[in-house]
Each structure stands twice: as structure tokens, then as C-alpha cells.
């Protein structure tokens, strides 16, 4: 097992810095820097190798699947959490009578505004009050009914560190057949995911935080 000191040596900034901002943007490791340099040099010398790029994508999906306990075939590369939320939201047609979605009133923008757009399609966008720094099942339960089609929340809140009770919230949503969308940006790479994975329909995460990509623009 790699020691903390050995792990720190893989990130150049830690030679002079106690870096505590990984929850915002992680540090670039030597492995990441070397991969970027090799790619840019090959791109400049030989042009874009699409086959090699697809293979790298497959390796990335397999690595994430292994980390979170999923099947690689269920992992997709995305541009951002907001893009993933927007993609899901765009699949909903015009609302039938009484249909609604439930989100957090102070949820991070990536997992808030894409769902707010569903108001234009006639959905009642219900916003759960935050308690203890996040969405608690007791605040969500009165908002979920037979017309609820989706419940969206963060597994761990970016502003407060509040960890949601994913199993309990999912049970409320699935009881009425609603989709469970979870922003895992502050979860994946920092905490175990597998125990709650079966309760989640869509898990979206960026990779520039605890997954240590640091380049942004991928998830």
C-alpha cells in the first residue's frame, strides 16, 4: 500500500505546499502531467490519433467503474455535471397534469438550474428547504407524490460538506417511480460509492476534484 508521503511525492506542489483545496480543484500528479505532454507532443508530430483516443477513453471508463463498483458499460464520459443534468432534463417531454421534479433550494447550480428549465415544459419544480446544510429525507418527503418524475440532489454538498442519506431519499423517489439523479462531485474519489450505487439511477461527477484530473472539462 502506498504511504501518504509516497503519494504526496507524486504531486509536485506538495513539496512546498499543504494543499487543502482538492474539493474545488485537485492537484495535477506527475502521471497526469506526463500524459498531457506525451499527448501534445504526439498530436504536434503525428496529428490526432482517434483510435488511440478511443482506447484511452475506454481505459478511463474502466478505471472509474472499478473505483465505484460499476460495470464499464454503464459509465459514460461527460463534459460536466451540468451537461449531464441538461441531457437528462432534455429527455422529458411536455408535462402531464400534476407532474413535478424535486430539487434543493440551495443546490449547487450545476444540479439546480438544468431542472428549473423544466418549468417551461409545465413541470412543477419543487424546491426542498435545506436543513443541516443539505437535503434531508424529512424535508423531501412532503414534496414527493405520484406526479414526481425526478428527484435530484448532491451526495455531498459542496458548500457545507453535508452528506445526503442517499438510500432514504432514493426510497422516497423510487416508491413513486421517479428517477434519482445524484451529483457525486464531492463524493467520487473521496468516499465509498458502491454501497449506494444501486439506489442511484444517474450519478454524475466531475473529475477535477477528488479524481485528481485537474484539467477540468471532463467527468
Question: From the first residue on, what is the mean pLDDT of each consecutive set of 10 residues in the chain (219 residues)?
Answer: 86 92 92 92 94 93 95 95 96 97 96 98 98 97 98 97 97 98 96 96 95 83
Alpha carbons 96 and 184: distance in angstroms, whole number: 30
The pLDDT of residue 25: 93
Name every residue whose Cβ is closer than 8 Å to that of residue 8 and which is 6 or more positions away in sequence: 14
- CB contact at 8 A, 172 and 123: no
Which of 174, 154, 175 is closest to 165 using CA atoms? 154
Alpha carbons 129 and 134: distance in angstroms, whole number: 8
The pLDDT of residue 98: 97
Alpha carbons 152 and 178: distance in angstroms, whole number: 10
Q: CB count, 10 Å around CB of 42?
A: 13
At 126 the three-state DSSP class reads strand
The pLDDT of residue 4: 87
At 183 the three-state DSSP class reads strand
The residue whose grid cell reads 423531501 is 140
The pLDDT of residue 119: 98
Alpha carbons 162 and 186: distance in angstroms, whole number: 10
The pLDDT of residue 123: 98
CA 203 to chain centroid, in Å, comes to 6
Longest dimension (CA), the chain: 60
Amino acid at each position: 500500500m502506498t504511504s501518504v508521503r509516497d503519494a504526496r511525492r507524486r504531486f509536485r506542489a506538495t513539496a512546498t505546499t499543504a494543499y487543502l483545496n482538492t474539493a474545488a480543484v485537485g492537484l495535477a500528479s506527475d502521471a497526469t502531467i506526463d500524459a498531457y505532454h506525451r499527448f501534445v507532443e504526439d498530436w504536434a508530430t503525428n496529428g490526432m490519433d482517434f483510435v488511440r483516443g478511443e482506447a484511452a477513453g475506454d481505459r478511463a471508463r474502466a478505471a472509474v467503474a472499478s473505483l465505484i463498483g460499476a460495470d464499464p458499460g454503464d459509465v459514460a464520459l461527460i463534459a460536466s455535471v451540468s451537461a449531464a443534468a441538461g441531457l437528462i432534463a432534455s429527455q422529458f417531454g411536455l408535462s402531464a397534469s400534476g407532474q413535478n421534479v424535486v430539487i434543493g433550494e440551495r443546490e449547487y447550480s450545476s444540479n439546480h438550474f438544468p431542472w428549473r428549465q423544466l418549468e417551461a415544459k409545465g413541470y412543477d419544480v419543487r424546491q426542498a428547504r435545506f436543513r443541516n446544510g443539505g437535503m434531508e429525507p424529512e424535508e423531501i418527503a412532503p414534496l414527493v407524490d405520484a406526479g414526481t418524475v425526478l428527484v435530484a440532489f448532491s451526495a455531498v454538498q459542496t458548500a457545507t460538506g453535508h452528506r445526503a442519506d442517499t438510500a432514504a431519499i432514493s426510497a422516497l423517489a423510487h416508491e413513486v417511480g421517479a428517477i434519482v439523479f445524484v451529483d457525486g462531485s464531492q463524493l467520487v474519489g473521496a468516499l465509498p460509492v458502491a454501497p449506494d450505487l444501486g439506489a442511484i439511477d444517474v450519478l454524475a461527477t466531475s473529475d477535477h476534484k477528488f479524481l485528481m484530473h485537474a484539467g477540468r472539462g471532463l467527468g
